[in-house]
Amino acid sequence: MSKGRGRGHCMLEVSGLEAGYGASQVLFGIDLTINAGEVVTLLGRNGMGKSTTVHSIMGLLSPAGGDIRFEGQSVCGQSPYAIARLGLGLVPEGRQIFPNLTVRENLLATAVAGKKTAHRDSFDMPRVLSLFPSLQRRLDNMGNQLSGGEQQMLAIARALMTNPRLLILDEATEGLAPMVRQQIWRVLSLLKGAGQAILLIDKNINALLRIGDRHYMVEKGRNVWEGDSKALRSAQTQRRRYLGV
């Protein structure tokens, strides 16, 4: 296991991950790596175990087998709070913002929980708001007064305020208007350009082909395919079989 901290070193290593809910096993040995500065995607049809994988990584679900290492250290058995402090930030499925706090309060609430990372520029309120100008105008509005798109931007902005070394987005563009989606893809491209490591789950394969460096397909809790964007473009048989696109 490399201990190096340079660009391109292995940041997250998931190996043989098994997990489930009570007696029902959902993951049967998922393998996944993410290197510093990489954008990696997790692809698969509904119910194949993508969110379960992400919840295991974040410590929201205890793995039944295998290992999850972040920066060389096993995070299995650590609390979600401890894992977040190590530098993992999740934008969960379904925009979980605080509805009864203002936009400003939503942002400050996670900034306190977050940790400054010394190895690159850290996010603060001005930098995050420069990525999402529409939130700037809504700072004093309550979370529940925002549009769906604004709520999703706030969810991403909140995750960024924790200065994650690895940002994980689970269906961040789901159910949003095309213009808002474009805005989110633009922000993610900017973050990638700044060297942010990202794990993406999304249904928009074309956007993933553009922004992703490497891709994993999962089916019924198992890896079935992996490759870079060039390989994914030509993997038409697997795309049809495992993604339906």
Which stretches of the chain bind ligand ATP, using CB under 6 A?
A: 21, 26, 44, 46-52
Neighbours of 175 (CB within 10 A): 12
Kindly tell me which of 41 and 51 has the beta carbon lying closer to Mg ion.
51
What are residue 125's phi and psi, to 5 degrees?
-55, -50
Q: Does 110 bind Mg ion (CB under 5 A)?
A: no
Q: What gap in Å lies between CA 26 and CA 217, rounded to an integer?
A: 15
- Least CB distance to ligand ATP at residue 17 (A): 12
- Per partner kind, with CB cut-offs from 5 to 8 A, the member of ligand ATP, Mg ion, none near residue 107 is none
Kindly tell me which of 52 and 163 has the beta carbon lying closer to ligand ATP.
52
Kindly tell me which of 123 and 216 has the beta carbon lying closer to Mg ion.
216
- Least CB distance to ligand ATP at residue 47 (A): 4
**Nearest residue to Mg ion, by Cβ distance, number only:** 51
Question: Tokens 């993992």 belong to which residue?
Answer: 88
Question: Which two tokens mark 22?
Answer: 């009570």
> Pick from 131, 180, 139: which is nearest to 157 by CA?
131
Q: What gap in Å lies between CA 195 and CA 7, rounded to an integer?
A: 8
* DSSP assignment string, 205-232: HHHHHHH-SEEEEEETTEEEEEEEHHHH
**Residue positions counted in the chain:** 245
Q: What gap in Å lies between CA 10 and CA 207, rounded to an integer?
A: 24
- Least CB distance to Mg ion at residue 174 (A): 9
- Least CB distance to Mg ion at residue 102 (A): 29
Q: What distances in angstroms separate CA 226 from CA 28, 40, 167, 169, 240, one per listed residue?
A: 17, 10, 20, 19, 15
Kindly tell me which of 56 and 110 has the beta carbon lying closer to ligand ATP.
56
- Per partner kind, with CB cut-offs from 5 to 8 A, the member of Mg ion, ligand ATP, none near residue 207 is none
- Least CB distance to ligand ATP at residue 202 (A): 10
- Per partner kind, with CB cut-offs from 5 to 8 A, the member of ligand ATP, Mg ion, none near residue 49 is ligand ATP
- Per partner kind, with CB cut-offs from 5 to 8 A, the member of Mg ion, ligand ATP, none near residue 81 is none
- Least CB distance to Mg ion at residue 36 (A): 25
With CB under 5 A as the rule, give the number of residues binding Mg ion.
2
Site for Mg ion in 27-56 (CB under 5 A): 50-51
Question: Which two tokens mark 53?
Answer: 């994988």
Give me the residues that bind Mg ion (CB under 5 A), please. Answer: 50-51
